[in-house]
Amino acid sequence: MRAITGLLARGWLALLLLVVWELVTWAVGEAYFPRPSQIAAAAYELWFSGPASSLFLTEKALGDFGPSLFNLFTGWFLTAVAGVTLGVALGLSRTVADYVEPMVHFGRAIPPPTLLSVFVILFPLGASMQIAVIVFGVIWPVLINTIDGVRTVERLHLDTAEVFGVRGPLRLREVVLPAAAPKIVAGLRISLGLALILMVLSELFGSTTGIGSHLIGMQRSFELPEMWAGIVVLGVLGYLLNSVFVLIERRWLRWHLTARGAA
């Protein structure tokens, strides 16, 4: 009961906006802005009217959501591994960082959508191209936050580890990474939202599957409720991904949040 009350307390503004949206679009009657009820009906018909054996998902839902989520999580996972690994290396070595950091700041200043045509040439159309776009576009916040997190480890912690003979990989695992974890996690959270955006953009070029392909197809055929259904699904997906990440972050960094609250 308490959970339901809390949900209603937090969701009243969203419900109010939906009601206002429904009334305004009903009064205006503009075809390009369908009512939320029409969007919900289109989404149900497209994706959520399947049999119970497939969790009520239709074949189109599996064809749209499956490839998109695969590209999203594969690209984000590769980004996490590469960004944290390279960021730790650059954070620990100022000499190497002096040579590499200018290229890092140059790369992050390039808007990923401007390079879509380049990725189309370098990679075959499909998952490999889409994953490459995601990795290039979202690695920068992970990389920069990791570098900054490693560099800001308190000198006292490092000196104490040195006194007790904690060196090399053990110091990295027990001292450096835990101290840098809050900033690393912040970079990962930012990159997850960017990955969702780039997932859609990469599917607009030469793709026949995925949510982005659905959006461009519905737009070209002027199936506007179906197009808006895709937009709403993306918003809901982004909200759910962020909520799950926040729950994992609170559990993983409970010690940090507790210490910050005490301070």
Q: Can you give 133-188 as a three-state secondary structure string?
A: HHHHHHHHHHHHHHHHHHHCCCHHHHHHHHHCCCCHHHHHHHHHHHHHHHHHHHHH
**8 band by pLDDT with thresholds 50, 70 and 90:** low
pTM, to two decimals: 0.87
Q: Residues 36-48+58-262: name the CATH superfamily.
A: MetI-like (1.10.3720.10)
pLDDT in tens, 165-223: 777 788 888 888 888 999 999 999 999 999 999 999 999 876 888 999 999 999 999 99
CA dihedral 28, 30, 32, 37 (to 10 degrees): 60
Mean pLDDT over 37-66 rounds to: 92
Is the pLDDT assigned to residue 109 strictly greater than 80? yes
Is the pLDDT assigned to residue 260 strictly greater than 90? no
Q: How is residue 225 written in tokens?
A: 């409720």
For 6, other C-beta atoms within 10 Å of its C-beta total 10
Per-residue model confidence (pLDDT) at position 208:
81
pLDDT in tens, 128-142: 999 999 999 999 999
Q: Which one is predicted more confidently, 139 or 9?
A: 139
pLDDT mean across residues, the chain: 88
Per-residue model confidence (pLDDT) at position 207:
80
DSSP tag of 233:
H
CA-CA distances (angstroms) from residue 236 to 15, 242, 258?
Answer: 14, 10, 30
Mean pLDDT over 95-113 rounds to: 89
Per-residue model confidence (pLDDT) at position 6:
58
Q: Where are the domains of the chain?
A: 36-48+58-262
Per-residue model confidence (pLDDT) at position 150:
92
